[in-house]
Chain A
Amino acid sequence: MRNRHVWRAFIIVIFSLLAVGGVFLSLAKGAMAISLQDIAGVLFSDHAGTSQQVIWNIRLPRTLVGALVGINLSLAGAILQGVMKNPLADPHIIGISSGAGLAGVTIMVLFPDKEYLVTPMAFLGAMMSAVFIYILAWKGGIRPIRIILAGVAVSAFLNSGISALMVFYSDRVHGALMWMVGGLSARSWPHLDIILPYTVVGGILALAGARRLNILNLGDEIARGLGVNVEVSRIAMTAVAALLAASAVSVVGLLGFVGLIVPHAARLLVGSDYRYLLPASAILGVAVVTLSDTLARVAFSPLEIPVGIIMAFMGAPFFLYLLRRDA
């Protein structure tokens, strides 16, 4: 029998290596290949010259945004799967994607000259639909199944709005479509400034709630017996997940895959203890997003495909493999 502690540490080290590798690959590869020395030069000393310019102005911020998006969506998914006690729970379920989607697409299609509003409006839309779903699901307390069903209904409603906009303004759909799939193209320092505070605060709150999530996983009655205020904890942790996911989605569009699959993959490998699962998910999220984005840029160069497509295309089969392996 393998020692669980050694195994968990081993997996987290592997995830970390993948994440570091993903970050460096993402910096090095692209329309212009850049050597590791140059990367190190930019990171640790002055930066002049073309390759340094490329790294500093384009690749580094894009890579960092990708890494933080990976962290946020993975943590949000891991938290929601625990709080809702449902393996299909992800940021879609609490209305983050459809809310952000309708707000973002509305701006892009109806007010194309106000592109700068896409991010704040998408964030607002995401939070509003999450709060709305919570209010709808409230009936003398919160039961996960009601949140999930209310989420499905509200998402269907909002998605019909998105479809309607796309049909009525079919000539302006391209940008909106790219954003719906999710991509890191042209993401730079301002985007990093938007998402970073949420990653820091959300990440700390998530880790602080790890033990509470473990207890919630034992079921409501056991959790109450152990002194957890189940309703308050559930709302608080969902709110943390909503902030994490909304900030990510508003910056890069509706990346669907990370929040659902990464936490599951991490869970299959490190187990369900949230003290390990949360950091493992976050690190794996970094690896998955940065590696996928690199591939998205390189695979059909000079054409760049949205990272969301690559991720689902590569990730879904890998996830199915993990599932079969454990079954």
Chain B
Amino acid sequence: MPMMKTENISVHFAGNTVLDNLTLAVEKGQMISILGPNGSGKSTLLKTLSRNVKPDQGTIYLDNQNIAMLSAKVIARKMAVLPQSPQAPSDVTVRDLVEYGRYPHQSWWQGKSEEDNHWIDWALEQTGLMRMKERIVSTLSGGERQRVWIAMALAQQPEILLLDEPTTYLDICHQLEIMELLAEFNWRHHMTVAMVLHDINQAARYSDCIVMLYQSKIFAVGKPKDVITSDNLREVFGVESLITIDDTGRPVVIITGLTKRRGY
């Protein structure tokens, strides 16, 4: 059963078609990655799913309900969003920021409840931030900061988490740390994860499903080994590659060079 699906969505910016009639289903419990070259529409797709861009045509369903008919708070209790490089105010602490994740569960006249405290502590625990909960977010390292934002999203108790390039600007160790964290949540709490990724190998290693976008359309969708092929990479990214399948059945890509194209 799909956690989220889009039906024939199109987005135009200033006369350009950024998303062209996309139909896509994100199954419950899946970890799904969106790949594609710059300008293929992958960030716009995520922004459309997270309601930061309104589709010009088409419908988006969250848990089989038309997202345009749901209130912002009802959506936020099911779906958490982590945009690319978010900014926290310069004096906010880790715990305060995670507490904001409880906003969709609070009504405006009520303060923080016991339940809120429970979930805030839980999110801090899960992301390994308990011992730095009183630190100021802006003084943390990039990887720690990203964990704080993920903790905020987790405090929302979402069924689906959307992330736009969660590992960009992080060193390789912290990139893997974030990916492992997401994979663990996906596996242990059956949380659906949909993200835009740049790194093809990370997508191949951690995703159940890959969506490859090219020129505003879905070029290929399916299991990593079916989507990440030399032919597809040549066509979509314009690169030559060697691909081996590792012992878990996932493709590992080595890029060997640019495809020689006519016109260059």
A and B interact physically: yes
A227 CB contact (under 8 Å) in B76, B83, B91: B76
- A217 with B52: in contact, given A226-B101, A226-B156, A228-B72 (CB under 8 Å)? no
Residue of B nearest to A271 (CB): B91
Residue of B nearest to A275 (CB): B111
The yes or no answer to A221 lying at the interface (CB within 8 A) is: yes
- A272 with B91: in contact, given A221-B50, A226-B103 (CB under 8 Å)? yes
- Interface flags, B191-230, vs A, CB<8A=1, else 0: 0000000000000000000000000000000000000000
The yes or no answer to B9 lying at the interface (CB within 8 A) is: no
Residue of A nearest to B103 (CB): A226
- Interface flags, B63-83, vs A, CB<8A=1, else 0: 000000001111111011111
A226 CB contact (under 8 Å) in B90, B92, B100, B162: B100
What bracket does the count of chain A residues touching chain B fall in? 20 to 34
Interchain CB contact under 8 A, B86 and A218: yes
Interchain CB contact under 8 A, B81 and A224: yes
Interchain CB contact under 8 A, B96 and A219: no
Alpha-carbon gap, A229 to B153, bound state (A): 17
The listed residue with most B CB atoms (<10 A of its CB), out of A214, A217, A221, A227, is A227
A221 CB contact (under 8 Å) in B77, B83, B93, B156: B83
Residue of B nearest to A232 (CB): B72
How many B residues face the partner with a CB closer than 8 A?
35
- A222 with B86: in contact, given A211-B108, A227-B77, A271-B91 (CB under 8 Å)? yes
B residues within 8 A CB of A224? 50-52, 72, 81
B residues within 8 A CB of A226? 76, 100-101, 103-104, 156
Residue of B nearest to A221 (CB): B83
The yes or no answer to A295 lying at the interface (CB within 8 A) is: no
Alpha-carbon gap, A86 to B88, bound state (A): 15
- B95 shortest CB reach to chain A, Å: 11
A residues within 8 A CB of B93? 4
Top 5 nearest A-B pairs (CB, nearest first) are A227-B76, A225-B81, A227-B104, A227-B73, A221-B83
Residues of A within 8 A of B (CB): 4, 208, 211-212, 214-215, 217-222, 224-229, 271-273
18 A–B contacts, CB within 8 A, in A order? A4-B93, A218-B87, A219-B87, A221-B47, A221-B81, A222-B81, A224-B51, A224-B81, A225-B50, A225-B80, A225-B153, A226-B101, A226-B156, A227-B71, A227-B73, A227-B75, A228-B103, A273-B92
Given A212-B108, A220-B52, A221-B83, output 19 extra A-B contacts at Cβ < 8 Å: A211-B103, A211-B108, A215-B100, A215-B103, A217-B89, A218-B89, A218-B100, A222-B86, A224-B50, A224-B52, A226-B103, A226-B104, A227-B71, A227-B72, A228-B72, A229-B72, A272-B89, A272-B90, A272-B92
